[in-house]
C-alpha cells in the first residue's frame, strides 16, 4: 500500500512496485486509511508524512496502536524531513526515506522490511 498526496510520486512508486510484481493499492489522502488497511491487509506500507487531510504520523500511531495492524512494516517518506532530523522511534515507523529518493534504495528498503 502506498499513501502519497503527490500524484506523480504515487504513480512512479506504483509503477516501480508493479514492475517488481507487487500488487499495489495507492491512496492520495488519509481519509479511511485504517479501513483500507483492514480491507487489504498489506504486506508493507509506504506512507508520506505530510498529507492534505491528515498527519501521517497520527495515522501511523493509530496503525501501530491497533492489534490487528501493528505488525505491518511502514516506510515513511517525506520531502520536509531528512535522516539527520528524523528519528524513526519518534513516529513508530520501521524505516524512513527523504524525497527525492533513489529507486534502488527504495526497493532495498522495501525488501528489507518484507524480510523482517
Write down the pLDDT at residue 14. Answer: 96
As given in the structure block, the three cell numbers for residue 113 are: 522490511
Q: Considering its fold, how many domains does the chain have in total?
A: 1
Q: Containing domain of residue 100, as a range?
A: 2-115
**What are the residues whose beta carbons fall under 8 Å from the beta carbon of 37, sequence distance 6 or more?**
1, 45, 63, 69, 72
As given in the structure block, the three cell numbers for residue 18 are: 508493479
Write down the pLDDT at residue 63. Answer: 92
CA distances from 72 to 53, 54, 69, 79 (A): 22, 19, 6, 23
Q: Tens-digit pLDDT profile for the chain (116 aa)?
A: 999 999 999 999 999 999 999 999 999 988 888 889 999 999 999 999 888 888 888 899 899 999 999 999 999 998 876 555 555 545 578 988 888 889 999 999 999 999 98
**Maximum separation of any 2 CA atoms in the chain, in Å:** 35
CATH code for position 7: 3.40.50.2300
- Interatomic CA distance for residues 12 and 89, integer angstroms: 28
What predicted TM-score, i.e. pTM, was given to this entire model? 0.89
**What are the residues whose beta carbons fall under 8 Å from the beta carbon of 110, sequence distance 6 or more?**
17, 44, 46, 75
Amino acid at each position: 500500500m502506498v499513501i502519497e498526496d503527490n500524484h506523480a510520486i504515487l504513480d512512479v512508486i506504483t509503477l516501480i512496485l508493479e514492475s517488481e510484481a507487487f500488487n499495489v493499492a495507492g491512496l492520495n489522502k488519509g481519509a479511511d486509511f485504517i479501513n483500507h488497511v483492514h480491507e487489504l491487509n498489506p504486506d508493507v506500507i509506504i506512507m508520506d508524512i505530510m498529507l492534505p487531510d491528515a498527519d501521517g504520523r497520527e495515522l501511523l500511531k493509530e496503525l501501530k496502536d491497533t492489534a490487528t495492524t501493528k505488525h505491518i512494516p511502514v516506510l515513511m517518506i517525506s520531502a520536509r524531513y531528512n535522516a539527520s532530523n528524523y528519528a524513526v522511534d519518534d513516529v513508530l515507523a520501521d524505516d524512513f526515506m527523504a524525497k527525492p529518493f533513489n529507486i534502488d534504495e527504495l526497493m532495498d528498503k522495501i525488501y528489507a522490511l518484507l524480510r523482517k
